[in-house]
Structure 1
Amino acid sequence: MADNNKHLTNRRTFVRASGAAGVAGVTGMAGCLGGLGGGGGGDSTAAPKDVEPAKKINFISESTPPSVAIKQITDEFKKETGIQVEMTLVPFNNYSEKVASDLNSQSGNYQAFYVDPYVVGSKYYPDIQALDPYIKSDDYEDVPKGTEDFIQSHVDACGRYGDGKLRAFPYDCPTMMWAYRKDIFQKYRKQAEKDLGFPFEPGKERTWEQYYQMAKWMNDNVDEVPYGTGHQAKQHDSLQCDFHNVFWAYGAEDMEGFSGRPGDEIKDDAKPQFSAKKGVKAAKFYDKLLKVAHPGSTTWTWSGVGQAFAQGKIAMTPEWHEFNSMFADPDQSKVSDSVGWALLPQADARSANIYGGSGIGINKHASDAEKKAAWQFLVWATKPKTQLKILKRTGGTPTRTSVYNMDEVKNASKKSTSESQYPNVVPPTQEAWKKQNVGLRPHLAQWPELDKILYTQVSKMVNGNKSPKKTMKAIDSGWSRTLK
């Protein structure tokens, strides 16, 4: 079995993920958000019926648990189809550079590839083959159980972009949720509830202010851990993710009309809104929260805070649910018997749980024969039977409803982290993916620059170098310059 923690640590600049044309999307911007690559093959029709599929294709991906598992079983695909898949698995930065180079040059060297929604999907979607013609054609293999079997928020986040066409199938789906120590919450419940005056129990019924009070109370009253909470608040993409959970919970908007909800749209004349009243209120709270968090928080990304939780240094944390595989492993975790999961707290608007998945798609610039072979690979790699194998091998979380409805997966999801054979289905992700709870970032071609502006400024704030109000104004200014 692959080392899940290793891949999670290397993997995501991370969860870049979310938003779509009609979801967390952009209207009226398709012309200026397109990729740098040019024309190559058509979008409106599938490859001709009389073309034989290529016998070999190249697939490139960030080294993620699903791709590691797929690589282990590609011989099964070759046996079924006669098509050989050469797989290149590399760290995220190498993956993004190689795919961008291939699409910019229209070379078509990688006929199928991992579609990160931001670095690849948002910017290069015109260079990714539209899948709708293949789905509708009677000449191509059907998608098992249809595309409606994919979880809708996943399709919204990593399948559709500026023109609304389906260009990728959901492939992985890490989501941030509330990880907590069940033993500590059970042991101290009566005392904490007497002192705090509200239920000492994680869940979306709690507010972020109550989360803060719980953390502060545990700092003073709990002996089992040094600190109540910890965060992935290093000057890094992880900080943007951690901050957005709070930001959207307060109903704050990145841009006019966009607050991380499915269906939010960004219009042509929309302006950044971080320094609006709700944004400043969220920033003030986040700054306050970090002051009672473990001091290591400002040096941790998702892997650091995950290790801190696993080693018993904090009692709770917002963390990517796929870390539950590490938490369940007694060789890596001191708390495997005591891990609980819940949706993140709410604030003035809702509970927002940021989604971080990616898809897989076909290179528009590949030949017709290669596209036919790549289509077969996409269908096979994402079908329920294959997703179950991936879950068993590396803990990669399924993106299909039917997999969660399988008896063995249902039974595994009802067990505790330490007892479940599939720990990554234990967290209540299906509830987190509902429209009212999921947090999706916008599809903007400039996301890497916008992301860096956001986490750089918030880092200054949590390190005491800038006030919340000035921080939000600085983000607005930086985003405005970048989006011109």
Structure 2
Amino acid sequence: MRKLIHATLCAATMLAGATTIARADWLEDAAKPLAGTEISGIFLDRPGYRAIIKLLPEFEKKTGIKVNYEIVPYENTREKEVLNFTSQGDLTMALVDLVWIGEFAENGWIEPVEKFTADASITDPNLKLEGFFPLLLDAFGSWGGKVYGLPFDNYSGLLFYNSCMLKDAGFDGPPKTWDELKDVYGPKLTADGKYAFALQSLRGETQSADSFMRVLWPFGGSLLDKDFKSNLNSAESQKGLQFRQDLMKYMPPGIVSFDHAEAVNALAQGQVAMITEWSAFYGTLTDPATSKLGDCLAVAPEPEGPAGRLPALGGFSLAVASQASDEQKKATWLFIQWATSEEIARAYVEAGGVSGRMAIYNEADIKAKYKFVEPMVASWQKGVPEFRPRFPAWPAISEIVAEFGSKMMLGEVTVEGGAKEIGTRMEAILEKEGYYDGKKEKLQ
């Protein structure tokens, strides 16, 4: 089972030598010996990355450190990073999805932050690891009792909806349960070429995580049981997967080709009334250049299932790549601290990012201005880091889930048959990896 890291938080904070006195010039002082150093990483074409790019000139001016980045589609990011790390390439910073943390840490591709927090000359005296939401630091940045990365691009699954469409259909608020969404809202909101709901389901990680896994937990199902055997043919898992099939009649045709951009755009343009999407897309849905919603945009927690409200959890941390030179490691550590700091949290949020820091969401004006804040913060009080298993075997299993999850939705296999196929292939991978003979810890 996943290890709790509360002790790690305390230890790492002590190593950082954190003080209650902030030095406004700490970054400039720390960067003086590193002026002219170039660091490099991968960003995604998503709001949080556009936000930090907008703020980058401030960091580069203060430090003299040049931040090089390449914008890569999510589907290609892990492969590109792994190839770079195994060939001793030029990346100095790792972008780590929560399901990659085990693979990256166990292969030694990223450095634990304790290596840097032990050096006060390059560590923010107000680093305050305890200032992150514990769930995020645990899920996105920690493995084996150590912190490797700091939460950067942080997501909670939320229900975004067109309140005007719902009102016109006779509803004064969003559905509270998944069954209500399908059975009550679905029929009334699907008419005249418009649809009640869109569930991004493109084959790949979008299918395996955003679509397939999203209907397991709320219905009491899961990918694996306590013995690390497939649990997909349990009554609860089957109920969730069948629910998804039944919900498709209220989704646009071709939903299996919808990635995040297509789902968000369908809501933004009035094609669908509701989507369950990541908090990070709030900026896209409020931008008049990309959305027609205006005051009709509303946000709520994801609906409850028979097992309760168990929203999707996703996000990334930034970590120092082990292959970097000593100077690049230090410069990269400075950038990561700055990009995830309380100091720039407000500017980051106002530019479209979603900070992992708790303090910013206590600000009254932030809560009032950004409708997603309260439901997102509520979901981070109780969450499921194993929403997608974080072990190193996940990337291979994800491909299997994506393949047969797509085939289920397309009617090429039955829900029961597809679940059996995933289970058989998944267990073969886990057996090969040593998960059944005691050679591997199961979940950190």
Q: Same fold (TM over 0.5)?
A: yes
Question: Which stretch has the larger CA shift, 323-332 or 174-183?
Answer: 323-332
1:155 aligns with 2:137: yes
Aligned length: 404
Secondary structure at 1:174 match in 2: strand
Secondary structure at 1:315 match in 2: strand
CA distance in 1, matches of 2:419, 2:202: 18
Tell me how far 1:67 sits from its aligned partner.
3.3
Q: Give the aligned partner of residue 438 of structure 2.
A: none
Q: Normalising by structure 2, what TM-score? A: 0.82
Secondary structure at 1:175 match in 2: strand
1:60-79 equivalent positions in 2, closer than 5 A: 60-63=41-44, 64-79=46-61
Q: From 155, 161, 186, give the equivalent of 1:216.
A: 186
Q: From 94, 114, 118, give the equivalent of 1:113.
A: 94
Q: Is the 8 A contact 2:35 2:64 kept in 1?
A: no
CA distance in 1, matches of 2:125, 2:174: 39
Secondary structure at 1:100 match in 2: helix
Secondary structure at 1:332 match in 2: coil
1:439-458 equivalent positions in 2, closer than 5 A: 440-458=387-405
Q: Can you give the 5+ residue segments of structure 2 that lack an aligned partner in the other structure?
A: 6-14, 17-29, 432-444
Q: Give the aligned partner of residue 308 of structure 2.
A: 350
CA distance in 1, matches of 2:72, 2:195: 36
Measured against aligned partners, the alpha-carbon deviations of 1:319-378 in whole angstroms (never above 9, x if no partner) come to 223322222233322322211111112222121221221011112233333322222221
CA distance in 1, matches of 2:62, 2:291: 40
Tell me how far 1:313 sits from its aligned partner.
1.6
Q: Normalising by structure 1, what TM-score? A: 0.75
Q: From 182, 186, 190, give the equivalent of 2:167.
A: 186
Measured against aligned partners, the alpha-carbon deviations of 1:298-330 in whole angstroms (never above 9, x if no partner) come to 331222122111221221122223322222233
CA distance in 1, matches of 2:374, 2:364: 17
| Superposition CA RMSD, Å | 2.9
1:39-438 equivalent positions in 2, closer than 5 A: 53=34, 55-63=36-44, 64-93=46-75, 95-105=77-87, 107=88, 109-119=90-100, 121-125=101-105, 126-142=108-124, 144=126, 146-161=128-143, 163-189=144-170, 201-202=173-174, 206-219=176-189, 226-240=194-208, 241-257=210-226, 270-393=228-351, 395-413=352-370, 425-426=372-373, 428-436=375-383
CA distance in 2, matches of 1:122, 1:314: 37
Q: Is the 8 A contact 2:367 2:373 kept in 1?
A: no
Q: Call closer, same or farther: CA 1:378–1:327 in 2, change over 3 Å.
A: closer
Question: Which stretch has the larger CA shift, 435-444 or 306-315?
Answer: 435-444
Q: Call closer, same or farther: CA 1:430–1:91 in 2, change over 3 Å.
A: same
Secondary structure at 2:147 match in 1: coil
Q: Give the aligned partner of residue 406 of structure 2.
A: 459
CA distance in 1, matches of 2:400, 2:58: 45
Q: Is the 8 A contact 1:354 1:438 kept in 2?
A: no
Q: Is the 8 A contact 2:313 2:383 kept in 1?
A: no
Q: Call closer, same or farther: CA 1:219–1:296 in 2, change over 3 Å.
A: farther
CA distance in 2, matches of 1:313, 1:374: 43
Q: Is the 8 A contact 2:408 2:418 kept in 1?
A: yes
Tell me how far 1:407 sits from its aligned partner.
4.2
Secondary structure at 2:145 match in 1: coil
Question: Which stretch has the larger CA shift, 426-435 or 474-483?
Answer: 426-435
Tell me how far 1:273 sits from its aligned partner.
1.2
Tell me how far 1:139 sits from its aligned partner.
4.2
Tell me how far 1:252 sits from its aligned partner.
0.9
CA distance in 1, matches of 2:406, 2:421: 12
Secondary structure at 2:180 match in 1: helix
Q: Give the aligned partner of residue 262 of structure 1.
A: none
Tell me how far 1:147 sits from its aligned partner.
0.6
Tell me how far 1:108 sits from its aligned partner.
6.3
Q: Can you give the 5+ residue segments of structure 1 that lack an aligned partner in the other structure?
A: 1-18, 24-44, 193-199, 258-268, 415-424
Tell me how far 1:247 sits from its aligned partner.
0.8
Q: Is the 8 A contact 2:163 2:173 kept in 1?
A: no
